[in-house]
Amino acid sequence: MPIDPTQPYDPSNIFARILRGEIPCKKVFEDEFALAFHDIAPQAAVHVLVIPKAAYVSWDDFSAHAPTDTIAGFVRAVGTVARELGLVEPGYRLLANVGADGGQEVPHLHVHLFGGQPLGRMVAGG
């Protein structure tokens, strides 16, 4: 079910529960700004989710309302994860779904990091 990105942050969402340690994840990186873990249903050889530790519903909410140091810390963390996974030289793709047309299902900002194989077309048809 796509989420409505205009709704207030819901602290019961699954990524908030992962951040609180209530649900396990396959962690690949953590710092003061971000947590990165393997997607439970990978769609590429490498499919990692990077989420801010702060509570923002979507890229829209985050870009509009997060403090500058929080945004900078998160963006740097995404880059660090890709670098630590050895994806810079072969290349990778970042994706942040927002709302219904974007297909966003979890109402806590997450950036998908795909790699480990040629990724094909930028946007799937259909």
Instruction: Supply the residues annotated as catalytic.
Output: 110
Based on CB atoms, which residue is closest to ligand AMP, 40 or 88? Answer: 40
**Cα 119 vs. chain centroid, distance in angstroms?**
18
Based on CB atoms, which residue is closest to ligand AMP, 41 or 64? Answer: 41
105 binds ligand AMP (CB under 6 A): yes
Shortest spacing between CB 89 and ligand AMP, in angstroms: 25
123 binds ligand AMP (CB under 6 A): no
Shortest spacing between CB 49 and ligand AMP, in angstroms: 6
Residue 49, Cβ density class (10 Å: 0-12 exposed, 13-18 middle, ≥19 buried): buried
> Radius of gyration of the chain from Cα atoms?
14
Dihedral angle computed from the Cα positions of residues 68, 38, 31 and 83, in that order, rounded to the nearest 10 degrees: -80
Binding pattern to ligand AMP, positions 57-96, x when CB under 6 A? ----------------------------------------
Token pair 């670098």: residue? 83
φ, ψ at 98 (rounded to 5°): -130, 120
Based on CB atoms, which residue is closest to ligand AMP, 39 or 60? Answer: 39
What does the alpha-carbon distance between residue 62 and residue 56 come to, in Å, rounded to a whole number? 5
Residue numbers at the binding site for ligand AMP (CB under 6 A)? 14, 23, 25, 39-41, 49, 97, 103-106
